[in-house]
Structure 1
C-alpha cells in the first residue's frame, strides 16, 4: 500500500537566528544544500510507486512558502492550514483523519518534520520500508538514531523485544531529554535518539488518540469534517481545532500506547536545532573550520563562519561561530549556541524588527526588499513572480514611483489597464487606487520609490485581493 507523507511545516525557528526568523523560519531556508530543508524533506519521499503526493500541514503565514517551494519541485501537495498552533498532536491527528477519509483508515502515514536534515535519503527510504511492514502489524513506528555522543538535547528510546519484522522492536520506554550523566548511561545501554518522525496506519493513530486524549481526537476530527476549501488550501475549522488541547504527539499518545515500535535508522540525522548542530554536519577544512558563503579565514581553527550577505573576513578565531545576513551579525563561542533563543527574546523586548523579519520580505506574489530609507522617502526592490498579482489598493499617506528594470508590469488604474516595460516608469499619486501584476513568464523586477509623511506597511487599504488577505 502506498504511503502518504505528511510534512509538518508550521513551526517557527529562533535558535538559528539571524538566518531563521519568525517571518521566514529555518524549514524554508537553504541551510545545508541548494534546496531548503522543507524541499529536501519532500525530495526524500518522491511520488510514485511507494508514495502518494504529500500532505503538508502549515498555517496562514507559511502557506505560500510551502506551495511555491513544492511547486518548484514539480509537486502538487495537499496543504492543510492550522487556524492556531496546537503543537504536533492535533496537527497529526487531523492529518490522519484527512488521510483516512481520502484513502482509507489502513493507509500508512509517514509523519515528517520539515526542518530536519537526513544526509542519506536511500538509507532513509530503506528504514521507511521496514517501518511500513511494522506499522502493518498494528504499530505506531518511530525512527531511532544510534547516538554518536551523549547528547542532552534529544529524547531517547529504550528498545524492547524484537517484532516479527527484521529491524523493528517494541518500545520499552521513551525518555525525555536527560542530563549529561544520564545521557552517557543511555549511550552505554544502547538507547536510541528519538528522531520525532513516525509511520503509522491513519486509523490507528486516531483510535489511540481517542483512547488517551479524547478531546484532541474529537476536535481534530471535527476540524477536518468541517474544513473548507480556500483558493486551493484546506482550511481546518477554527472553532473545533482551537478547542483541541495543545500537546505534542509524544506526550499525547506515544508515551501511553502499548503499540509503539521503533526502527533503527542507519542514516545521518539532525534536527539542526542550534548553530552547533549545523556546524557538526558541515564539511570541514584542514583546520576544522566550517564555512559557507562569502567568507575568508586566516589562522582560524574549529570556527563556523557563514555569510548570506556581506563578505566576512576573520583572523585568529578558534571555536567561534559567526553568522552574517544583510542586516544582522551573530558572533559567539560555538558552545554558546543554546543561548541564541534568549538573545532573540531580548531583541523582541527591545522592539528590534530584526528579531522577526529580514530585509527581504516574502509575500504570496513575490518579495520586496528595503534598499534605502530616509526622512519622508523609502526605496524598495520589488520582485513579482510570474502570474503574481498584488492587491487592488490605495495609500493615504504616500505616493509611489515605479521603475521597471526587468520584465513587464501590468498596471491597473480605475480608468484603464496598461503595461509598463523595461526602462519605463509610472507615478502613482497619493490616494490613487491601483494594482500591479506580472503577466509574463519571467520575474518582474522594479524599483519603487515611496515619498510621503508615513511609509509603514499598514498604510495599505486593500479593496480586492487574490490571496484573501485582509
Structure 2
C-alpha cells in the first residue's frame, strides 16, 4: 500500500499557534510531536519508508523536511487547488518519480489528525486495502460521539465484503439534524481518509466529474502548466459524493481532526477540575479551562470554561464552544494586513529558524538557530549592520571575503553593504544572538548573491 500524506493546506484554525506560513500540521501540542510527524509514524505501520510521500506546497518544503527528515519523498504541488487537484497530481507524480504503479492501492491521509491507538489504525487501513483491492474507493468512517455540526456525515448502506456500501452524504448538518443522525446509529463522520487504486481514482474522477476529465488525461508536464486551471474542489464533492464505487470501513480507532481549540481541549490531558495548564501555572477556583502559555507564568482566579492561548505576539482568550470563531479574527487581521496572521514569531528557514527577541527604534535582536551542516545565503544589507555573538556551537563566518571560525562567547561585526555568510560546520545546532542596528531593520533589506535553496531576495 502506498501512502500519500496531504499537507498542502495553510490552516489558521489554531491561530495564534498556527499561521499561514506555519499551519497546524506543524504545531506541536502533544507528545512534543507535530501532527505531521505522528501521521508519518502511523504511515510507517502500513507502508515501507520508500512507499510514503508527502504532498505539500513548495513554501512548506523545508518545514516538512525539518519535521520528517531530508529523505522523505516530496510531491510539490504547483499551486493550492484543494484535495482533488492534489490527489490527481500526487498519483501521476508518484508513478513517474517514485516508480509506483497505477494498480497500486493508494491511501491519502490528511496530515493534521489525532488518531489512537495506532495499532487499531493499522488494522483499519489493512481492512480498507483489502476492500480497495476489489475495485472500490474506500472512505474511513468515524463513529460519532457527539452531534458535531462542522463535520460531514456518511450513512452506512448494505454490507459489502468486509465493509459497507455508502447510502448518502450529509454535509455539515444543523445541530438538530446532527443529533438525530447520532441517535440513528447508522451515520459516521467522514474522516477524509480515502483508499483505492491510483487508476480507479483517476478513472472515476473522469467519469463522474467531467470538469476534471481534461486534467486527468494530461501528461504530467502539461498538467503542471495548467494546474491553476483545475477547479478548486475537495475530493469529497468531486468524487466521493458522486461515484458508485464508494465503500466504507468503520474506524476501530478514536479520531479528532484538531480543527479548533475546543477540539484541542478535548484531546489534551486534564486535572481533576478539567483544567489544562503548564506545569508552572497556578489555578485558583478555576474549572474546565485551558491555558497554553510558554512565555509567561499563567495564573487564573475564579474563572471557568475559558480557552487561553498565548504566543509571543498574540494572546487569544475565548469562551469554550466559541473557538470556531477564530476564523473571524483571522479575516479581520487579513483585512488589516497584520503580519501576525501570516508569520509566526519563530520563522523557519531551510537552514533552521530565527526568532525576534526585541525590537526598537533603529535596532532589532534575534536568536538564530542553524542546523548542523547548513548555511545561510551569501548576502548583504544596505541599511543595517549586524553584530553576531555565538551562544552555542562553532560558526564558520565569511565577511567581505575573509573566512574565520567564531566559537562560543566570541563575536563578529558585519558592516552594512558588506557581503557575509554564516555556516554551521559542527555536529550540534549553532545558536547565535544577532543584534541589528541601522535606519531600517526589516527582513526585506536583503540581497542574496548565492543561495543553496535557490531563494530570491524576499524569502
TM-score, normalised with respect to structure 2: 0.95
Q: Secondary structure at the match of 1:308?
A: coil
Q: Which moved more, 1:456-465 or 1:41-50?
A: 41-50
Shift of 1:414: 4.5
Q: Which moved more, 1:345-354 or 1:181-190?
A: 345-354
1:129 corresponds in structure 2 to: 126
Confirm or deny: 8 A CA contact 2:394 2:407 kept in the other structure.
yes
1:96 corresponds in structure 2 to: 91
1:324-335 alignment runs, 5 A limit: 324-335=310-321
Q: 1:286 aligns with which of 272, 281, 295?
A: 272
1:248-327 alignment runs, 5 A limit: 248-292=234-278, 294-327=280-313
Shift of 1:359: 1.8
Residue by residue over 1:209-233, the C-alpha shift from the partner in whole angstroms, topping out at 9 and shown as x without a partner, is 12233553543664x7229xxxxxx
Residue by residue over 1:156-187, the C-alpha shift from the partner in whole angstroms, topping out at 9 and shown as x without a partner, is 0011111122xx11111111110011111211
Shift of 1:48: 7.5
Q: Secondary structure at the match of 2:297?
A: strand
CA gap of 1:9–1:49, structure 2 versus 1, over 3 A, is: closer
Q: Which moved more, 1:76-85 or 1:266-275?
A: 76-85
Confirm or deny: 8 A CA contact 2:354 2:367 kept in the other structure.
yes
Distance (Å, rounded) in 2 between the aligned partners of 1:107 and 1:77: 19
1:62-73 alignment runs, 5 A limit: 62-71=60-69
Q: Which moved more, 1:85-94 or 1:101-110?
A: 101-110
Residue by residue over 1:58-78, the C-alpha shift from the partner in whole angstroms, topping out at 9 and shown as x without a partner, is 11221111112111xxx8321
Q: 1:18 aligns with which of 16, 28, 43?
A: 16
Q: 1:420 aligns with which of 396, 406, 422?
A: 406
Shift of 1:417: 2.2
Residue by residue over 1:92-138, the C-alpha shift from the partner in whole angstroms, topping out at 9 and shown as x without a partner, is 11112234442211111110000111021111111001100000001
Q: 1:151 aligns with which of 148, 153, 169?
A: 148
Residue by residue over 1:285-334, the C-alpha shift from the partner in whole angstroms, topping out at 9 and shown as x without a partner, is 21122334642211111112211321111011111111112222111111
Residue-pair matches, total? 453
Distance (Å, rounded) in 2 between the aligned partners of 1:28 and 1:427: 34
Q: 2:77 aligns with which of 58, 79, 82?
A: 82
Distance (Å, rounded) in 2 between the aligned partners of 1:361 and 1:200: 37
Q: Secondary structure at the match of 1:216?
A: helix
Confirm or deny: 8 A CA contact 1:155 1:194 kept in the other structure.
yes
Distance (Å, rounded) in 1 between the aligned partners of 2:47 and 2:321: 44
TM-score, normalised with respect to structure 1: 0.92
Q: 1:204 aligns with which of 163, 184, 200?
A: 200
Shift of 1:153: 0.9
CA gap of 1:78–1:49, structure 2 versus 1, over 3 A, is: closer
2:135 corresponds in structure 1 to: 138
Shift of 1:11: 1.0
Confirm or deny: 8 A CA contact 2:3 2:47 kept in the other structure.
no
Shift of 1:244: 1.3
Confirm or deny: 8 A CA contact 1:383 1:443 kept in the other structure.
yes
CA gap of 1:92–1:308, structure 2 versus 1, over 3 A, is: farther
Question: Structure 1 unaligned runs (5+)?
Answer: 228-235
Distance (Å, rounded) in 1 between the aligned partners of 2:304 and 2:46: 47
Q: Secondary structure at the match of 2:293?
A: strand
Distance (Å, rounded) in 1 between the aligned partners of 2:228 and 2:280: 45
The alignment's C-alpha RMSD in Å is 1.8
Q: 1:468 aligns with which of 431, 454, 457?
A: 454
Q: 2:180 aligns with which of 159, 177, 185?
A: 185
Shift of 1:51: 6.7
1:442 corresponds in structure 2 to: 428
Shift of 1:250: 0.9
Alignment partner of 1:114 is 2:114 = no
Q: 1:34 aligns with which of 32, 35, 51?
A: 32
1:356 corresponds in structure 2 to: 342
Q: Secondary structure at the match of 2:397?
A: strand
Distance (Å, rounded) in 2 between the aligned partners of 1:15 and 1:308: 19
